[in-house]
Structure 1
Amino acid sequence: MEIQTNLIKLGQAFETQEEAITFCGEQLLAGGYVTSDYVPAMLERNRELSVYMGNFIAIPHGTDAAKKEVIKTGITIVQVPRGVNFGDALDPKIATVLFGIAGVGNEHLDLIQKISIFCADVDNVVKLADAKAVEEIADLLNSVEV
């Protein structure tokens, strides 16, 4: 899937993980990828099982029940330079890059696989976190072969 530059957001800041997840969902909604019911399902999914994946990334996405709210497959990439904590004070889990995803059918699995392969190398996460232009991020992710 081709990364859309209009869905890449640089230099964002969030106080809470809920705020961060909601922002990702709103980007997908504004882009016509999901219905408004998908956004609360992303928050619910995180309550069921954290969307924090390690290596400073989180992949907010909806519950299985919310699959019907996906209009077309899409991904938003949100850079959070100061990070947002997906853990707690005793066990912080800081994400500096968020990948909000919505997939038709099982296409979300392909997105997660592509992200996981790329972000398994923490140096790649650093490149995303330090990028100064949306084109840099798009080029990095579009170069991943799955």
Structure 2
Amino acid sequence: MSKVLELDQIKAAGTARTKEDAIAEAAEILVAAGAVTPEYLGFMKAREELTSTFMGNFLAIPHGTNEGKDTILSSALSFVRYADPIDWDGNEVRFVVGIAGKDGGHMDTLAAVATIFSDNDEVQKLVDASSEDELLALLSELNNA
């Protein structure tokens, strides 16, 4: 079974300053990983228009709509951390986890992300991590979901 999160899918210092740019940054990583086609970004934007993907505790999880499932080539995550919070519909977001789930395979991964981010100590470790390597180590259980 392949891993949904590899080192090159983690960005410790995201450059986006807006929600829209953060969604695009997450999508670019998924495209570069070969998990989605470039068209997936449009489905991620459409999902965000339907309902905010802000999850609380500085986390947003943008993902595509069901109509975009044909643009998903394999299940994968992208993980981007921001030094300065992004305004996500009035909420502060420091972490954007882009998700592409092939054949419904993302539900266990979503649950694992939610578990990590429900623990304030774990979130603080992610804030304090000094590198992509350290972030991957903290997020390694996502590859077991």
TM-score (norm 1): 0.91
| Contact 1:22–1:39 (CA under 8 A) maintained in structure 2 | yes
The equivalent of 1:60 in structure 2 is 62
> How is 1:89-104 mapped onto 2 (pairs within 5 angstroms)?
92-104=90-102
Q: Deviations over 1:63-119 (max 9, x none)?
A: 1111111000110110111011111xxxx2111011111010111212111100111
CA displacement at 1:13 relative to structure 2? 3.1
| Contact 1:58–1:95 (CA under 8 A) maintained in structure 2 | yes
| Contact 2:59–2:94 (CA under 8 A) maintained in structure 1 | yes
Distance 2:141 2:32 in 1: 26
CA displacement at 1:18 relative to structure 2? 0.4
2:123 aligned counterpart, secondary structure: helix
Distance 1:143 1:16 in 2: 29
Q: 1:136 to 1:16 in 2, by over 3 A?
A: same
Structure 1's unaligned 5+ residue stretches are none
Q: 1:68 to 1:2 in 2, by over 3 A?
A: closer
1:21 aligned counterpart, secondary structure: helix
- RMSD, aligned α-carbons: 1.4
Q: Percent of aligned positions with the same letter in both sequences? A: 31
| Contact 1:44–1:63 (CA under 8 A) maintained in structure 2 | yes
| Contact 2:53–2:61 (CA under 8 A) maintained in structure 1 | yes
Consecutive aligned runs of 4 or more in structure 1 exceeding 3 Å deviation: 143-146
The equivalent of 1:22 in structure 2 is 24
TM-score (norm 2): 0.92
The count of aligned residue pairs is 142
